[in-house]
Amino acid sequence: MLVPLLNTIRNSQLPNGGFPYQADELARTDSTSWAVLAMSAFEDTEQSCMQGRVYLRSQQSTDGHVSISQEQHRASWPTPLAILAWGMDPQFRQARDSAIHFLLNFSGHHYPQGDTSIMAHDTSLVGWPWIADTHSWVIPTAIAITALQSSGITTHPRIAQGLAMLLDRQLPHGGWNSGNTLVFGKELLPLPECTGIALQALAGNTERPLVEHSLSYLLDQLPHLRTPISLGWALLGLGAWGLRPAQTESIIRESLALQNRHGSYAIPSLALLLCAAQAPQGLHSFLRTRPLEATVSTTHGNKS
């Protein structure tokens, strides 16, 4: 199963080294980051990964951020994905360090908490936004934390703030919505993709009782999840807490079979499934298994 999946991703690489979102499209930073991240677990992909990393570096702005396109600088959310893709490859250390510097100095729009009967979450907690000058949300914050920690930055005030923000945005009955919790007194409904990403980021950073309801929610959802984004993040989130299901490979196979119904999956979706297949304990364990990262693996010792 994994080799055909890998080959599908690898064969979509464009001459400039980047990867499109879908076949017949131009290269994009988010797709390239995901493709490189997924391929990097395999030994015979060095050349493809190198070309992908070079493409990402070519898209980096002078302040270190990597946006979704050169014309949309405010949409800097692919920056942590690029950090993950560059990994610990010494040839891209400068690009990675520049991106980390940007990320540590970039935050969402925050303001003192107002009337909690309208919005219950703490609007003052600093995380990361999708788009510059907007509020912080669960997915970009979780990805940023994962990227920073995978780069060897285990503790930093911004990581601590981000973790606090994620815990604050957890729904009282478990799981995460996009980022709100209660609005006008009503608890929002949890979403599996947001929940999986948040759990992935919190693993090793917080005590299990604090997320027990969320783990239960995701385990309950898993039998219903076969679309790649929700399934991929659910497997990574559960795996990060030691709850990866024994039948993971067959579940992923079922998801891939659904392309008969939905059409070919986008490259980031295929890459996410490949990562989920290769990362039994979440993305951090996946990244640590890479030989190049052996030198920094001890800095993540608390995340085993």
Partner 1 sequence: MMEQGSQTTESPVLSRRDLLKATLIGGGLALSGFSFLHWVKGPVLTASTFIGKAGNYQADLKHIILRGLAELGITRTIITGKRILLKPNLVEPHRSSPHINTHPLVVRGAIEAFLSLGAGSVLVAEGPGHRHDTLLVLEESGLGDVLYEDHIPFADVNMMDGISLPNLGRQTKLATLTFPKVIQQVDWIVSMAKMKTHHWAGATLSMKNLFGMMPGIYYGWPKNVLHQEGIPQSILDINASLQPHFAIIDGITGMEGDGPIMGTPINAGVLVMGHNLPAVDATCCRVMGIDPARISYLKKADQWLGPIQELAIEQRGEPWRSVQVPFALDPEIPAHHGLRLT
Contacts of 51 by beta carbon, 8 Å cutoff, 6+ apart: 13, 17
Please name which of 189, 205, 90 lies closest in space to residue 142, comparing C-alpha atoms: 205
Contacts of 128 by beta carbon, 8 Å cutoff, 6+ apart: 77, 80, 103, 106, 107, 108, 136, 137, 140, 141, 143, 144, 162
For partner 1, the closer CB: 30 or 293: 30
Residue 221 Cβ vs partner 1, minimum distance, rounded to whole Å: 10
Query: Which positions touch partner 1 (CB under 8 A)?
Result: 21, 25-26, 28, 30, 68-69, 71-72, 74-75, 77, 109, 117, 129-131, 133-135, 137, 139, 177-178, 183-186, 188-189, 191-194, 225, 227-230, 261-262, 266
Residue 247 Cβ vs partner 1, minimum distance, rounded to whole Å: 20
What is the separation, in whole angstroms, between the first and last Cα of the chain?
27
Residue 30 Cβ vs partner 1, minimum distance, rounded to whole Å: 7
For partner 1, the closer CB: 41 or 277: 277
Phi, psi of 94 (to 5 degrees): -65, -45
Residue 259 Cβ vs partner 1, minimum distance, rounded to whole Å: 10
For partner 1, the closer CB: 86 or 137: 137
For partner 1, the closer CB: 75 or 167: 75
For partner 1, the closer CB: 51 or 76: 76
As given in the structure block, the two tokens for residue 89 are 């490859």
Residue 225 Cβ vs partner 1, minimum distance, rounded to whole Å: 7
Q: How many residues does the chain have?
A: 304
DSSP state, residue 154: -
Contacts of 40 by beta carbon, 8 Å cutoff, 6+ apart: 49, 85, 87, 290
